[in-house]
Amino acid sequence: MKYRSVMSVGAVAAFLFGIYLLWYGTAVLSMYEAVSIKEAAAQDSHGMSLLVGYTHVRMIGTLVLGLGLLTWVIKGVSDPRACRAVTRSSSLVF
């Protein structure tokens, strides 16, 4: 595959996953609008507040969405050295 198509697929995947995480976190947090937030004091099996866990899901969603947008922007890079630098660094991750 070409560099541009690999970056396009990665950008779309990251963007959709980021939107899913943001929507999931928003749906969970919206349930607590009308009632007092008991989950701020209640803890899950790991000892962490449930509200903190939902907030972390939204923060991770924002991060993944941002990375997807960044990947979409850099897919049009035409410098071969820059393309090799991006593909080498991404191969180290996977």
Model pTM above 0.75:
no
pLDDT in tens, 57-91: 888 888 999 888 888 888 887 788 877 776 676 55
Q: Tell me, what's the pLDDT at 81?
A: 83
CB 38 within 8 A of CB 49: no
Give the residue from 19, 21, 5, 1 showing the smallest Cα distance to 72.
5
- Considering only CA atoms, which of 5, 7, 3 is closest in space to residue 69? 7
What are the pLDDT digits (tens) for 18-66? 888 888 776 766 666 555 556 555 666 666 666 777 778 888 888 999 8
